[in-house]
Amino acid sequence: MKELIRKFTQTAGPSGYESAVRNVIREELKSYASNIQVDTLGNLIVRVGEKNRNGLSILVAAHMDEIGVIVSHVEKNGLVRFSNIGTVFPRFLPGSRVVFLNGTRGVVNNEKPEDITKIPKFEKFFIDVGAASDKDCPVKIGDLAVFEGEFADYGLNIVSKALDNRAACALLIETIKQIKTTPHELIFVFSTQEEVGSRGALTAAFGIEADLGFALDVTPASHILGTKMQCDLGKGPAIKVRDVNFISDPGVVNWMIDGAKKIRVPYQLEILDVGSTDARSIQMTRSGIASGALSIPCRYVHSPSEMINMNDYQNMIALMVRLLTNPVSLG
């Protein structure tokens, strides 16, 4: 499973440009699913099983895209100015490296700050691609790049860029591989453009019109940072109760808690005060869908060195298989 995560995280796929990631996922799934489609927004949709009288149509989404940057201007001296694709934190930028979709690499830095004790504003940063002038610069306005962050194996923990959300994509694939029978029609959506507003999940959910839906994503493991959010690495998958733009259906929360208890895997309850997931788009589709979310605790989210725990990962797969292969009760 680590090798699958490594393969996914090291494939570039910023929001709106997920095709390379989608191709890797499709190749991985071809021996396990025959009903695979790609819709207009680039979502990869995989259908498994048929709904019987005890079953539901269940949509599970994990987004393929990662944060990145886009060239907005090239200075006459060859330095590249850029804007963000998704939420890019300025505190992670100085000294970080990027790779453009055309293969060009660059290092990020900033103009000399007036106060070295403060983080510069976003517009003070630039990318140095080694160009001497705008005439020989290998990138142009509109070119996209992602951050470089090699995969590292720390034993129980792994580190890489784009674990948000390639870890959940890999987890979804492992779940599909382990499901042998189910009373449900399962629709797995590897969605696009989550980092810029959960656009892919919105259109996919509209077309699918499921009975029940939930998203898989990462969530900040912030216990080491002194924040009020209580979500720890290594203490099990997080069952979302609320985030900035989403309140989980109480029945879905209880269904997930009951599933974790039935197979005796640890779990945490997630209250997130920053950000949201595809669950919001699923919930608000058409006349509304009962929705929730499961999250992988992750340190240093939206940095080039995100970290997750493999015990959390394994326990979340076990919980997913339990939830999707047994009758659902949201009472």
The pLDDT tens digits for 255-314 are 999 999 999 999 999 998 888 999 999 999 999 999 999 999 999 999 999 999 999 999
State pLDDT tens for residues 199-218.
Answer: 999 999 999 999 999 999 99
Q: Which domains does the chain have, with CATH numbers?
A: 2-66+161-324 (3.40.630.10), 68-147 (2.40.30.40)
- The DSSP bridge pattern shows strands 212-220 and 57-63 to be parallel
Instruction: Specify whether 306 is catalytic.
Output: no
Q: What is the mean pLDDT of residues 134-142?
A: 97
Closest CA to 326 of 127, 224, 183, 226: 183
Confidence class for position 115, pLDDT limits 50, 70, 90: confident
Residue 59 CA to chain centroid, in angstroms?
Answer: 16
Residue 229 has pLDDT above 70, yes or no: no
Residue 53 has pLDDT above 60, yes or no: yes
Q: What is the mean pLDDT of residues 112-127?
A: 90
Contacts of 170 by beta carbon, 8 Å cutoff, 6+ apart: 1, 4, 5, 8
Q: What is the mean pLDDT of residues 180-202?
A: 97
Q: What is the mean pLDDT of residues 236-265?
A: 97
Measured CA distances, 315 to 48, 81, 292, 311 (Å): 22, 43, 18, 6
Residue 63 has pLDDT above 90, yes or no: yes
Do the beta carbons of residue 191 and residue 43 sit within 8 Å? yes
Confidence class for position 230, pLDDT limits 50, 70, 90: confident
In single-letter form, the type of residue at position 81 comes to R
User: Helix, strand or coil for residue 181?
Assistant: coil
Would you state the pLDDT for residue 331? 74
Mean pLDDT value across the chain: 95
* CA gap 98, 108 in Å, rounded: 7
Would you state the pLDDT for residue 227? 59
Would you state the pLDDT for residue 22? 98
Residue 125 has pLDDT above 80, yes or no: yes
Residue 6 has pLDDT above 90, yes or no: yes
Would you state the pLDDT for residue 117? 87
Confidence class for position 315, pLDDT limits 50, 70, 90: very high
What is the strand order of the sheet 152-154 is part of? 152-154, 157-160, 306-309
The catalytically annotated residue of 28, 66, 174, 194 is 194
Confidence class for position 114, pLDDT limits 50, 70, 90: confident
Q: What is the mean pLDDT of residues 57-61?
A: 98
Residue 226 has pLDDT above 70, yes or no: no
Do the beta carbons of residue 292 and residue 253 sit within 8 Å? yes
